[in-house]
Chains A and B, each alone.
Chain A
Amino acid sequence: MSEKNLMQKIADSNKSVISGVDDLDIELWIKIYFLGREYRVPAGLTIMQALEYAGYFLTRSCGCRAGFCGACSTVYRIKGEYKLQFAMACQAEAMDGMYLVQLPFAPAEKRVYSLDHEEYSANTLLKYYPEIARCLSCNTCTKSCPQGIEVMDYINAALRGDYKQVAELSFDCIQCGLCAIRCPADIVHYNVAQLARRLYGKYGMPQVKNLNERATEIEEGVYQGEFDHLVALSNDELKKLYVEQQKNKEVY
């Protein structure tokens, strides 16, 4: 290896693993404060990347990194502002003067129910989660939701047994728990919404003919041969098949 190549390699490995850019080339830096300590990090990273840049190895509060799993709930304030704010660390950009902490877990109770034996009536949600009747309509939950969901509205819909509205309003919920941590009425919103969506899916939603037909076909084993074939394939064969399929995929 020539000397130049070697130097290049060293420089490369010194580059930030996160940003892919040499620290010396970064012009814009911000300061964030994690658990009370100050860190200087490149601007433009997500909160999660910024924490990793700062040297943290995240084993909790981190999952899909794609805004779906709800593991990375983050609470922060910006220096000089009074408002407490909420974000998903994998999605939101780290900002200068952010005081932040991640919420690894929201203590919550999920009641035990059996969908098959439940009545699809107005008070079923109240039966399992009577505390929704304590809601004060303060709107704190809505303000805390990083998904921009009208949480207060779906709790109100739940109170009056409007399953369709709960299901539709709460559809984007990723169960991050931020609403439940903030609610003065101690409601665990996402569990209420989950029960409502399940009941709505089972009893309320219009049945789709094609879907039912396909489900029956699957149950009857029409596709069993193809499944068995796939399961028997080796890793390499599967990869090849996947690449082929991606190439031919319809673009919507």
Chain B
Amino acid sequence: MAINLSREIVHSLEREKIKEIGNTNFYLCYQCGNCSAGCPCAEEMDILPHRAVRLAQLGQFSRLIESKAIWVCAACITCSVRCPRGVDIAGFMEACRQIVLRTRKVDHLSPVELDAQLLKELPQIALINNFRKFTG
């Protein structure tokens, strides 16, 4: 896929926003791929964590918000503790989700459409955690 590296796109507002919400300086990433190697959800992702970080460095925010990866992330923090550059990739993923939830105002999932049987058997913490990640 062609990547537009025009000045406006690379220096997009979202890039700074991710840094602020995720509270992490992802410009430090040098693409070692450690994060992706240990990610339990990588297999299900369309864009691997280290590639997502690279896209953000290049301001390719539209690619990120359309991606499945940010919603497949289970916030397990494995990537963050293993990053040799101290990037909090888990925080980075959260920031991407938050920007989508905040600006598009569309939830990733609708609580009332969940299966009733599932709702009856899930522990509370599964639902609370999920809704905090996927609804705005």
Contacts and interface: CB of A to CB of B under 8 A. Distances in A.
A130 B120 contact: no
B112 A130 contact: yes
A159 B126 CA distance: 12
Contacts, number: 39
Contacts of A131: 111-112, 131
Interface string B111-136: 11010100111101001101110010
Interface residues of A, number: 12
A133 B116 contact: no
B132 A130 contact: no
Contacts of B116: 127
Interface in A131-170: 131, 133-134, 159-160
A133 B127 contact: yes
Interface in A95-146: 119, 121, 123-124, 126-127, 130-131, 133-134
Nearest to A119: B120
Determine chain A's interface SS by DSSP, over half rule.
Answer: helix
A160 B123 CA distance: 9
A161 B114 CA distance: 19
A152 to B, nearest CB: 15
A133 B111 contact: yes
| Interface size range of chain B in the complex | 10 to 19
A51 to B, nearest CB: 36
A199 to B, nearest CB: 14
Contacts of B135: 134
Most buried by B among A126, A130, A131: A130
Contacts of B124: 123, 126, 133, 159-160
A115 to B, nearest CB: 16
Interface of A: 119, 121, 123-124, 126-127, 130-131, 133-134, 159-160
23 contacts: A119-B120, A121-B120, A123-B119, A123-B120, A123-B124, A124-B120, A127-B116, A127-B119, A127-B120, A130-B112, A130-B114, A130-B119, A130-B127, A130-B131, A131-B112, A131-B131, A133-B124, A133-B130, A133-B131, A134-B128, A134-B132, A134-B135, A159-B124
